[in-house]
Amino acid sequence: MEPSSVTTLSTGVPFRPALRTRAYSVTIKGSFGKVRLPRALLEPIHKSRALVQDDASHRGHSPLSPSFADRSRLLRLWAVTELLPEFPYHPDPVATGVIVPSGTVCICCGRERGYVYKGPVYAADELAYRLCPWCIADGGAAERFDAHFTAGTCLGDDVALEVFAAVDQRTPGFTAWQEPQWFFHCADGAAFLGPVGSAELAVYPEVLEMLRREANGWGWPSEQVEYFLASLDKDGEATAYLFRCRVCAAHLAYTDFA
Ligand SMILES: [Zn+2]
Ligand SMILES: [Zn+2]
């Protein structure tokens, strides 16, 4: 690209790539925390006509010009700071690990959005690692590919079909040892908080009691049930999956294992 050429960011902001590095930087708050971007990346947004003329006279020969690779990296950082869509039934899919920063081009919208979904997809097409969060949130992926993000297995209350569809077709799923199951409570889908183990569950005695009842129902002796509950590990071979009701705030969980 010629130093004086003008291109456009996805935000529609005019951007000239040939810039001189400045010693200061700007902090941008994104969904992924704070990212400090060198002023060189942001400068074109504010650049005055006088500075443009000044740059043209230098034709990018400044020894302080950031390299193309540097600018590419900075632009990637810029893309990653785009705010993720909100998922009412899976409030932090980055923390639960199913949405990750990535340079993947989304197979649905054809754009590189800075993130890709790596959770389960139930569809005829192979969509794993190929959908951006935005095409999940707006239902575009579900509509275009008849994609579902749950295995269709529900726990808890019966709910209206549209409530189930909001979870099944517009919410990132999660990975479990067996087919993942979603909790419904108070006529709504519960919010998935993530995989947890006995350490995380220590502050949820009511959830531990719920899991104890579940394991007792399997006909296990009580010592085996207690051993099982103590062995739960969010990264181990027996894991609990924690939800919170969006209506009554009750915490809910179930377990599975390898
Ligand atoms: Zn997309
Ligand atoms: Zn509830």
pLDDT digits (tens, 9 = 90+) for 150-194: 988 889 989 999 999 999 999 999 999 999 999 999 999 999 999
Q: How far is the CA of 237 from the centre of ligand 2 (A)?
A: 29
Which residues have their alpha-adjacent CB atom under 5 A from ion ligand 1?
106, 108-109, 132, 135
* Contacts of residue 100, Cβ cutoff 8 Å, sequence gap at least 6: 94, 115, 116, 118
* Residue 87 clears pLDDT 90, i.e. is over it: yes
Work out the number of other CB atoms within 10 angstroms of the CB of residue 74: 17
Q: How far is the CA of 210 from the centre of ligand 2 (A)?
A: 14
Q: Of the ligands numbered here, which is closest to the C-alpha atom of 251?
A: 2
**CA separation for the pair 211, 168 (Å, rounded):** 24
Q: Of the ligands numbered here, which is closest to the C-alpha atom of 190?
A: 2
* Backbone angles phi and psi of 70, in degrees to 5: -60, -45
Which residues have their alpha-adjacent CB atom under 5 A from ion ligand 2?
185-186, 245, 247-248, 250
* Residue 199 clears pLDDT 50, i.e. is over it: yes
Q: Which residue has the higher pLDDT, 57 or 66?
A: 66
Q: Domain ranges for the chain, please list them.
A: 7-80, 99-257
Q: Of the ligands numbered here, which is closest to the C-alpha atom of 244?
A: 2
Q: Can you give the pLDDT at residue 174?
A: 96
Q: What is the pLDDT of residues 90-118, one digit of tens each?
A: 999 999 999 999 999 999 999 999 999 99
Q: How far is the CA of 131 from the centre of ligand 1 (A)?
A: 6
Give the angle subtended at the CA of 132 by the CAs of 128 and 134, to the nearest 5°: 140
* Residue 66 clears pLDDT 80, i.e. is over it: no
Q: How far is the CA of 130 from the centre of ligand 1 (A)?
A: 8
Q: Which residue has the higher pLDDT, 70 or 115?
A: 115
Q: Give the range among 17-21, 58-62, 80-84, 121-125 with minimum mean pLDDT.
A: 17-21
Instruction: Give the model's confidence band at 64: pLDDT under 50 very low, under 70 low, under 90 confident, else very high.
Output: very low
C-alpha distances in angstroms, 161 versus 28, 31, 152, 182, 255?
A: 40, 31, 12, 14, 25
* Residue 89 clears pLDDT 60, i.e. is over it: yes
What's the whole-number mean pLDDT along residues 207-233? 95
Q: Can you give the pLDDT at residue 54?
A: 38
Q: Can you give the pLDDT at residue 207?
A: 96
Q: Of the ligands numbered here, which is closest to the C-alpha atom of 106?
A: 1
Q: How far is the CA of 38 from the centre of ligand 1 (A)?
A: 28
DSSP helix/strand/coil, 181: strand
**CA separation for the pair 101, 243 (Å, rounded):** 24
Q: Can you give the pLDDT at residue 81?
A: 55
Q: Can you give the pLDDT at residue 189?
A: 97
Instruction: Give the model's confidence band at 74: pLDDT under 50 very low, under 70 low, under 90 confident, else very high.
Output: low
Q: How far is the CA of 47 from the centre of ligand 2 (A)?
A: 53
Label residue 237 exposed, middle or buried (CB < 10 Å: 0-12, 13-18, 19+).
Answer: exposed
Label residue 99 exposed, middle or buried (CB < 10 Å: 0-12, 13-18, 19+).
Answer: buried
Q: How far is the CA of 114 from the centre of ligand 1 (A)?
A: 10
Q: Can you give the pLDDT at residue 152?
A: 85
Q: How far is the CA of 186 from the centre of ligand 2 (A)?
A: 4
Q: Can you give the pLDDT at residue 9?
A: 39
**CA separation for the pair 27, 117 (Å, rounded):** 26
Q: How far is the CA of 207 from the centre of ligand 2 (A)?
A: 13
Q: Can you give the pLDDT at residue 153?
A: 86
Helical spans, DSSP H, in the chain: 39-46, 49-58, 68-80, 133-137, 140-145, 161-170, 198-201, 205-216, 222-231
